[in-house]
Amino acid sequence: MKRVVVVTDSNAALPERLVQELDIRVVPVLLHLDGHSFRDGVDLAPGEFYRLLRSGRHVPRTSAPSVGCLRRRPAKRRASSPSTCRPS
């Protein structure tokens, strides 16, 4: 029987326990703040993102991971490893 691999982006906000238990691959959404791009949960922790958001000086934007990044993710390391996809 073929194995099914679930791939999602970080907007799903799945509990880490579930990600580990089901071996779900999570690809970080790209966050754009003040002219810089960050991988959600990898380059910018949630607490730091919300601190910047509350400061009112930054208008954040998001963008989905590239299709290529999503297609490569199942073959990569477990979901707990940082994604190799980088903002362009």
The rounded mean pLDDT for the chain is 77
The number of folded domains in the chain is 1
Q: What is the pLDDT of residues 11-44, one digit of tens each?
A: 898 999 999 999 898 889 998 887 888 898 888 8
Residue 47, number of CB atoms within 10 A of its CB:
8
Read off the tokens for 63: 């963008």
Q: pLDDT band for 67, please (50, 70, 90 cuts).
A: confident
Q: pLDDT band for 73, please (50, 70, 90 cuts).
A: low
**Helix, strand, coil content of the chain in percent (nearest 5):** 35, 20, 45
CATH, residue 31? 3.40.50.10170
Task: Provide the whole-model pTM.
Answer: 0.67
Residue 65: is its pLDDT beyond 50?
Answer: yes
Say if 46 falls within a structural domain: yes
Say if 84 falls within a structural domain: no
Contacts of 38 (CB under 8 A, 6+ apart): 30, 31, 32, 44, 49, 87
- What pLDDT does 60 receive? 83
Domain that holds residue 61: 7-75
Read off the tokens for 29: 């959404």
